[in-house]
Amino acid sequence: VPSYHFDKAKVIVTIDADFLGSYLMPSKFTKDYAAGRSPDKKMSRLISFQSIPSLTTLNSDDNYPIKPSQQLAVALGLVEALGGSLPANLKKFVDAAPVAGIKEAAAALQAFRGESIVIAGGLQCEHANAVNLQHAVNWVNSLLGNDGRTITAGTKLQEGTSRDLNALISDLTEKKVKTLIIHDINPIYSLPMAAGLEEALNNAEMVISTSNWMDETARLADVVAPCGHTMENWNEHEFGGISTIQQ
């Protein structure tokens, strides 16, 4: 997973990556992003292409609603707008892109080559073209000369995968899980309906949510046991490859 340096970026384009709310390291990303939004200097610009509202899209300067099926089209549209040569079999994806948003974003990125970030990822990007989407985004960042400047290689994170989540949903569907604890996340909101999690939860004998809010997932739980605010809790975190405890 690349390391993103949002404090060094003058223009940020996100394709369904909620880096301020839930993607990878939102605490670090929020701090870095805030540093680039200082009113004492020229603030960075955040452009969002989103298929679902998130904390990141709500903080964006420009927001372009898209369908999940248009994510790859947006990334490839940026490649083409920035001078990349697309083979014929990829041009069909560009036709589905919101052209006005592509031109606006490409013009902003063009003005800050080497000082920009294009990022995609998160649950909304878990689909058949997930890997192709990341390849396209890497292509955009390479065209802009962001590699080694606002984006550096090599951050190892301890986190689950979509494969683990799909396996859990499968186990729930087959009634292999009797008790499920969902700790301070809201997957019913984040996951597409096609994932089938809501229906699968009905097969568990008990569902416990530790959310502090009566969100979409907590409403389906048998027990809601709020976990408390971050400032009240003990925890452990991984930050920049370093594991530490929270007290």
Mean pLDDT of 38-42: 78
Question: pLDDT at residue 154 above 70?
Answer: no
Give burial (CB, 10 Å; 0-12/13-18/19+) of 168.
Answer: middle
* Residue 111 pLDDT: 96
> How many other CB atoms are found less than 10 A from the CB of residue 111?
12
Closest Cα to residue 1, out of 26, 33, 25, 32?
Answer: 25
Question: pLDDT at residue 153 above 70?
Answer: yes
Question: What pLDDT, in 10s, does the model give residues 94-111?
Answer: 876 767 799 999 999 999
Contacts of 162 (CB under 8 A, 6+ apart): 123, 126
* Residue 175 pLDDT: 95
* Residue 238 pLDDT: 67
Q: How far apart are the first and last CA of the chain?
A: 28
Give the span between the Cα atoms of 29 and 109, in whole angstroms. 20
Task: Enter the pTM of the model.
Answer: 0.77
